[in-house]
Amino acid sequence: MQFITEVLFSLHPSLRIAVIFLIAVTAHIIVRKINQLTQWLFVYRTSNEEVSTKDRFALRYPRSASLISIMMSAVTFIIYFIAVGLIFKEFNISLKAYLASASVIGLAIGFGSQGFVQDIVIGLTLIFSDVLNIEDLVEISGQVGKVEKIGLRFTVLVNFYGQKIYIPNRNIGTIGSFQTGHVKAYVDIQIPDEMDEKDLIDEIKSISLGVYNQHNSIILSKPEILGAKYADKGDWKYLRIKFKLWPNQHALIETTFKQRVAAYMKRLYPKYMSWMITITYGNK
């Protein structure tokens, strides 16, 4: 930097100002290119279409991408710092005074931005501990979504509405990870002895597909009819259906689906009761 300033001050003042202006513009252009590269690395969805996640460096190498992001931020700061220093030098401000003032200001900011420091420390911890990975389905601070980005300041989730949720890293406490990427719901429908099993399966399949087609952002795949089974004592039979759900959206099965099935059963058997349809959750 000292060499650059000596060269600048050997020039005519008008040329010196032109060179400084050129340096400022160049610095700004370089920073913009750095930001564009950062966006390319981390943003894998556009406003018009969803880009294949396999084509994004950040998804394949989340640690390396995060480190590159840190280095880009550092380079951006250095570029602007040098440019500002050169401009101040033109106004006869000593570089030593500039560096000293920057140190004092940085120290003051450091005392006033402990939350910022916490965000960075926790962000680095998340990056290197493998607690979170891109595309993991997790619950953080009461929010459920897929991890889109693990940054130094924020962790970004995308919920089933497609809404982006920015969570400051310092607010991350307990992390719940859904290893299978969904929650499984099992609906057991008690079958009356006199009912034809095939007719029931056909009707329940139709109801299940109807609910799936209507709410396929919550039900993540077509429901599976697992067939009729006997209870442990063998005194009654039930039909089991398996759903794969977005976490915390079980109300759809416990209300809409159950009500439709109960209404169908009551049309055939007026004494049929809602408690004869049970719902359990598991990982099998």
Question: What is the structure's pLDDT at 200?
Answer: 87
Q: What's the Cα-to-Cα distance from 239 to each of 196, 197, 224, 227, 256, rounded to whole Å?
A: 12, 9, 11, 6, 18
Residue ranges in the chain whose pLDDT is less than 50: 1, 8-9, 11, 44-55, 108, 111-112
The enclosing domain of 220 has a CATH number of 3.30.70.100
CB atoms within 10 A of CB 64: 13
> Does residue 76 form part of some domain?
yes
Residue 117 lies in a domain: no
Whether 118 is in a domain gets the answer no
| 142 in the same domain as 94 | no
Full residue range of the structural domain in which residue 11 is found = 2-112
pLDDT tens by residue, 192-240? 888 888 888 899 999 999 999 999 889 989 999 988 888 776 677 889 9
Task: List, for residues 169-179, the tens digit of each pLDDT value.
Answer: 888 888 888 88
Indicate if 94 and 148 belong to the same structural domain: no
Q: Are residues 36 and 71 located together in one domain of the fold? A: yes
| pLDDT of the residue at 31 | 75
Q: Given this model, what pLDDT does residue 187 score?
A: 94
Same domain, 251 and 170: no
Specify the pTM: 0.61
Task: State the total domains in the chain.
Answer: 3
What pLDDT is attached to residue 171?
A: 86
Same domain, yes or no, for 271 and 197?
yes
Check residue 257 and give its pLDDT.
94
Are 143 and 214 in the same domain? Answer: no
Same domain, 93 and 29: yes
User: Does residue 120 fall inside a structural domain?
Assistant: no
